[in-house]
Structure 1
Amino acid sequence: MTAVAALAAGSLSACGSSGKPVLNWYVNPDGVDTFMTYAKKCSTDKYDIAVQQLPTSATDQRTQLARRLAAKDSSTDLMNLDPVFVAEFANAGWLKKVTGSLADTIETSANGQGDYLSGAAATVTWNNGVYAIPLWANTQVLWFRRSLAQAAGLDMTKPVTWDQVIDAAAKQGGTVGVQANKYEAYVVWINAMVQSAGGDIVSNTEAGRDAKVDIDSQAGKDAARIIKKLADSKAAQPDLTVSNEGTSLGQMFPAQGPGEFMVNWTFVYKNYEPTVSKDQLADLGWARYPETVAGTPSKPPVGGIDIGVGAYTEHSAYAMAAAQCITSEQIQVDLALKDGLMPSTNAAYDKVAASGQYPKDLIELFRTSVDEGGPRPKSAFYAMISGAIQARWHSPTSVDPNSTPGDSATYLKDVLEGKRLL
């Protein structure tokens, strides 16, 4: 039995019409049709899986799930988790711990020696334990019009910097697409630039509220300088201050103009493939995430979705079995081929590469970017960290490398110490 419904305020029925337990699987809006298929495939003669759809934004997803789990809701059996939720939810006691050989495989993979991509495996570990199972591993690359880069004289077979990309777009009448609305993806951009410059927003996150705030650094200034440069440039898109993952897609192949350079997630190729002409698709290029500092390898963003089992489920054994089924190699392959959501395991990646549905160099760029990328801070207080950064770095038109990193460091420290509210 399957069902799709908006997340309701009250508890959901624990039994279906057949009398079997119903495991509620809360999912984000990406790949819902594939989730529906696997909810049916992974249901058994002992339990059914019902799909419940979460809101679109990661912030709203966290709020909905946290409210349920804080209330010890027994109907929250399975959930799709943005990687930054895992530490917070595990620290709060809201997730069942993954044990046995699967946990061993994930922990080994986090050290670069197992089937899971190390960048994906690292997102589900917390306090010497494993608290979720990686489903797909997301990352960002630099998408661009080959004709635009060629006209600007950029050799895209070599690493490029943010400065080069902004200058090239402005010179040729093109634009640079980013995510700079006041939401989580803006922090993803800031974090990636800071890490690519050799810094961190915070460190020693295991200390919780006593984590070390590091953003007032040269790396923080480098990131702020790039944001200001783009905001002041002719390459800035008109909706820069409210831009998101979807808004810049249409700027790649405009009715007139040379197009854009754009940082965005892996779904982009499958978004364009069925909708643009063959000539346009041939003009679509991809490269590693831009460097913040020339000569220092970039740290592409690491995202994706992990599957967690709610701590208060009344069917923990069933839910853990279902979690393993809905993170299987085949669903990872299907999500990649149908939805553009890349796998979390090397075995699934190999099958996606062998399918011929993606250029092989693009597949390897995705895989390398996850393993060599940079995660957002793994902290039980990540929501506070993200909120504080958004509060002081937005709008991008107000960012000043001489003041924004320092102001945000002071504010973030006060928020973590409970001296100020978001």
Structure 2
Amino acid sequence: MRSTNDPRGRRSRHRRRAALAAVAALAAGSLTACGGSGKPTLNWYVNPDGVDTFQKYAKSCSTDQYDIAVQLLPNGATDQRTQLARRLAAEDSSTDLMNLDPVFVAEFANAGWLQEVEGDLADSITSSVEGDGDYLSGAAETVTWDDKVFAIPLWANTQVLWYRKSLAQAAGLDMTQPVTWDQVIKAAADHDGTVGVQANKYEAYVVWINALVQGAGGDIVSDTEAGRDAKVDIGSDAGRKAAEIIKELADSKAAQPDFTVSNEGTSLGQMFPESGAGEFMVNWTFVYKNYEGQVGSGLTDEQFADLGWARYPATVEGEASKPPIGGIDIGVGAYSEHPDFAMEAARCITSEQAQVDLALDNGLMPSTNAAYDKVSASGDYPADLIELFRTSVDEGGPRPKSAFYAMISGAIQARWHSPTSVEPGSTPKDSATYLEDVLEGKSLL
């Protein structure tokens, strides 16, 4: 999941305004054409990442039988979910195609809001879950629910540890070997550096907490197929270890000034500050292209060459980390008046070439191995970085797959924010009790 207010990356305000204007113009043009020709128009609701590529594929995937119009969703994943859920709960027939954060596929499928993906594509996705198909297993897993497929993976996002090579060298860290959160925080604090995370009260903070918990061998919840009766595990030793790391950073000199409201974009400027040694930063795949695009207009070649990357930090020394998994899946609305056209369009806009274009133009990594191979062969990314992205998706840790995920996320945010108030001895236990009450209907968010 690049995100702005979610696990999908950050755009500048200027680019967002330009995207809004372009989308409005495209949508207006499509609707006018529809009115003049009598062809149906399929509405495609998209998140504001990679909008230029979405525009291109809305045009190229339109046919003699239908047009595709791009409609822009809000920035944040939670706001996107709210808008789509309201439309679908009202059985809105104009919601044909939608970009979905993977954590909302289960909820929408369980509610009957998504059309099932069938045939050869569903077979390919299902076999990929077991590592024997075209898709990355981590991406394929996000679109299955109740042994069926309800969306098509478009891009598969993950987080890695970005860092200044000079900072790691000064701290004596061997970045060819796994590093822990404890090592990263201490290295930054002792050598005039900082640690960049996402700790504002929003979805990406839950992404961090979930990765910490899973890296300690636990889960926020388990047995999620039981719905409201899922087992709440956040109060476990793994939850306490996650809280220890958050508190360690909060109390450290390595915490950035905006720690409690930090997001994917705020820490980008701390990598190459005017003073200081830079940072270690966990963030999504878009980071490489973000910095590469600044060379010559803010960054020097020498600074860019000092950018390093490594696997997501381990929660527990000796235990493999569980990098976050995000991205975007394409769903077809259950109430679309043109379901066959919409499913055909969904296949087109998730094509191998569309995935390659999103990676090369927008820094959003593919969901299929074939597209990954093409991106790697392009030479636009270092080969080891491409393999790090791919491995991190397949070996990463997804957030809980639950029809009640919105409740789970909201309850965790409510009890774990602000990060400066997190206490290992009480926060995990208190949040477990609260989450149980929320799921049982005893408490409201």
TM class by shorter chain equals over 0.9
Q: CA separation in 2, counterparts of 1:14 and 1:82?
A: 31
1:303 pairs with one of 316, 320, 326: 326
- 2:248 is matched with 229
* Partner residue, 1:46: 65
* 1:81 is aligned to 2:81: no
SS at match of 2:43: strand
Task: Tell me what 1:393 maps to.
Answer: 416
Match in the other structure for 1:413: 436
CA–CA separation in structure 2 for the residues paired with 1:418 and 1:101: 41
Matched, 1:115 2:134: yes
CA distance in 2, matches of 1:379, 1:14: 40
After TM superposition, list the pairs within 5 Å mapping 1:22-421 onto structure 2.
Answer: 22-275=41-294, 276-421=299-444
| In structure 2, distance between residues paired with 1:99 and 1:285 | 42
Aligned residues: 417
Contact kept, 8 Å, 1:3 with 1:50, in 2: the verdict is no
Please report how far the alpha carbon of residue 255 of structure 1 lies from its aligned counterpart in structure 2 after TM superposition: 1.1
Gaps of 5+ in 2: 1-20
The 3 A distance-change label for structure 1 pair 14 and 421 is farther
Superimposed CA distance per residue, residues 371-408 of structure 1 (whole angstroms, 9 cap, x where no aligned partner): 00000000000000000000000000000000000000
Q: In 1, distance between residues paired with 2:45 and 2:80? A: 9
Whole-Å Cα distance in 1 between the matches of residues 338 and 300 of structure 2? 49
Q: Which amino acid aligns with 1:306?
A: D
Moved more, 277-286 or 357-366: 277-286
Q: Distance in 1 between matches of 2:108 and 2:193?
A: 42
Structure 2: distance between partners of 1:262 and 1:77: 37
- Give me the whole-angstrom Cα distance separating, in 2, the residues matched to 1:111 and 1:211: 24
Q: Structure 1 residues 42, 253: closer, same or farther in 2, change over 3 A?
A: same
Q: RMSD of the alignment, in Å?
A: 1.4
Superposition deviation, residue 3 in structure 1: 7.2
| Separation in 1, partners of 2:286, 2:192 | 26
Counterpart CA distance in 1 for 2:34 and 2:240 is: 55
The alpha-carbon deviation at position 274 of structure 1 amounts to 1.5
State the percentage of identical aligned residues: 82
Query: C-alpha offsets along residues 191-233 of structure 1, whole Å, 9 cap, x if unaligned?
Result: 0000011000000000000000001111000000000000000
Contact 1:14 1:75 in 2 (8 A): no
Q: Secondary structure at the match of 1:17?
A: helix
Partner Cα separation in structure 2 for residue 209 and residue 390 of structure 1 = 18
Q: Which amino acid aligns with 1:412?
A: L
Check the 8 A contact 1:13/1:22 in 2, yes or no. Answer: no
Q: Which letter maps to 2:439?
A: L
Deviations 1:256-306 (A, max 9, x none): 111000000000000000102211111000000000000000000000000
| Cα distance in structure 2, aligned partners of 1:368 and 1:331 | 21
Q: For 2:34 and 2:406, locate their aligned partners in 1 and report how far apart those are by CA, in whole Å.
A: 34
Partner deviation per Cα, 1:24-66 (whole Å, 9 max, x = no partner): 0000000000000000000000000000000000010000000
Task: Describe the superposition over 1:67-111 as per-residue Cα deviations: whole angstroms up to 9, x where unpaired.
Answer: 000000000000000000100000000000000010000000011
* 8 A contact 1:80–1:308 mirrored in 2: yes
Q: TM-score, normalised by structure 2?
A: 0.92
For structure 1, the residue ranges without an aligned partner over 5 or more in a row are none
Contact 1:169/1:261 (8 A) holds in 2: yes
Q: How far apart in 2 are the matches of 1:159 and 1:78?
A: 40
The amino acid of 1:421's aligned partner reads: L
The one-letter code sitting in structure 2 at the alignment partner of 1:313 is S
Q: Give the secondary structure class of the aligned counterpart of 1:139.
A: strand
Deviation for aligned residue 1:14: 11
Distance 1:24 1:138 in 2: 24
SS in structure 1 of the partner of residue 60 of structure 2: helix
Q: Which amino acid aligns with 1:262?
A: M
Cα distance in 2 for residues equivalent to 1:139 and 1:267: 10
Displacement of 1:129 after TM fit? 0.4
Seen in structure 2, the aligned counterparts of structure 1 residues 54 and 233 have a Cα distance that, compared at 3 Å, is same
